């Protein structure tokens, strides 16, 4: 195998992988789009199997702007869900640390004699509930 054969093998391999990535992105967009009806989805999928390169180019030209908007909407929705999850976890850890603080303050009051054993048990039950 000479240099130019290897070079063209690399070029065509790169183009094939780029085409597959574009195809997977198009399929993901077809099934992510809620405005596109079921029959239209079937037509696009069949077109992509029968005339792959032509259908992919037509899809990008016709629906490319909406494709980018749906991708941005999906990304922002995932980011919002992640931020909500982080807030919920942080709130849980904050409440855990405040519970520990309440118990340590109640224990200090019990040790100093400011509260009784029964009052400490009531504070502990309330904090752990």
Domain limits, the chain: 3-94
The pLDDT of residue 117: 87
pLDDT grade for 101, boundaries at 50, 70 and 90: confident
How far is residue 5 CA from its own chain's centroid? 42
Residue 112: partners with Cβ closer than 8 Å, 6 or more residues away: none
pTM (2 d.p.) = 0.57
CA distance 101 to 54: 66
Apex CA 37: angle with CA 34 and CA 42, to 5°? 115
The pLDDT of residue 104: 85
pLDDT grade for 15, boundaries at 50, 70 and 90: very high
CA distance 53 to 12: 14
N- to C-terminal Cα separation, the chain: 74
């Amino acid at each position: 195998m000479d240099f130019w054969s290897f070079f063209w093998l690399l070029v065509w391999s790169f183009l094939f992988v780029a085409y597959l990535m574009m195809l997977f992105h198009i399929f993901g967009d077809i099934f992510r789009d809620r405005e596109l009806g079921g029959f239209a989805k079937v037509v696009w999928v069949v077109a992509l199997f029968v005339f792959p390169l032509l259908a992919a180019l037509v899809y990008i030209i016709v629906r490319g702007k909406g494709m980018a908007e749906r991708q941005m909407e999906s990304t922002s929705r995932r980011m919002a869900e992640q931020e909500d999850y982080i807030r919920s976890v942080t709130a849980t850890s904050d409440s855990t640390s405040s519970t520990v603080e309440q118990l340590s303050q109640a224990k200090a009051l019990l040790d100093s004699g400011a509260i009784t054993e029964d009052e400490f048990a009531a504070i502990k039950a309330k904090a752990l509930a």
